[in-house]
């Protein structure tokens, strides 16, 4: 599991110097951690219904990633450009 910036819980909003983009990235990290956790739990579950529930919850977390990412892309134009750059690089490598 990732470690959200140490001391994050202790930072009060008025004292915080974190940008909204940083907060959204922390949300994305937390959701990705949750996806990995629930998929790993699903893989270890003996009961099929438990496995299905873990996978369903993991799917919901993927939606949350999408929500946070959509917000991030609205406020961080550099991120938009870099994601496109990364996509093009992968296309060139995998063609």
Question: pLDDT digits over 46-74, tens only?
Answer: 999 999 999 999 999 999 999 999 999 99
Domain ranges of the chain: 8-94
Q: Which residue in this structure is represented by tokens 């093009």?
A: 88
Task: Indicate the pLDDT class of residue 15, thresholds 50, 70 and 90.
Answer: low
Say if residues 8 and 26 touch (Cβ distance below 8 Å): yes
pLDDT at 79: 95
CA 3 to the chain's CA centroid: 13
pTM flag (> 0.85): no
What the block records as the tokens of 2 is 């990732």
Mean pLDDT along residues 2-27: 75
Does the structure show a pLDDT above 70 at 89? yes
- Residues making up the chain, counted from first to last: 95
H helix or E strand, kind and range, residue 58: helix 48-75
Angle, helices 77-94/48-75, rounded to nearest 10 degrees: 120
pLDDT at 11: 58
């Amino acid at each position: 599991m990732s470690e959200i910036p140490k001391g994050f819980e202790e930072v009060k909003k008025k004292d915080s110097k974190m940008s909204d983009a940083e907060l959204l990235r922390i949300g994305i990290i937390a959701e990705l951690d949750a996806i990995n956790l629930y998929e790993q739990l699903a893989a270890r579950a003996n009961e099929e219904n438990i496995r299905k529930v873990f996978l369903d919850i993991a799917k919901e977390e993927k939606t949350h990633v999408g929500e946070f990412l959509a917000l991030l892309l609205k406020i961080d134009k550099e991120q938009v450009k870099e994601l496109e750059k990364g996509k093009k690089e992968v296309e060139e490598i995998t063609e």
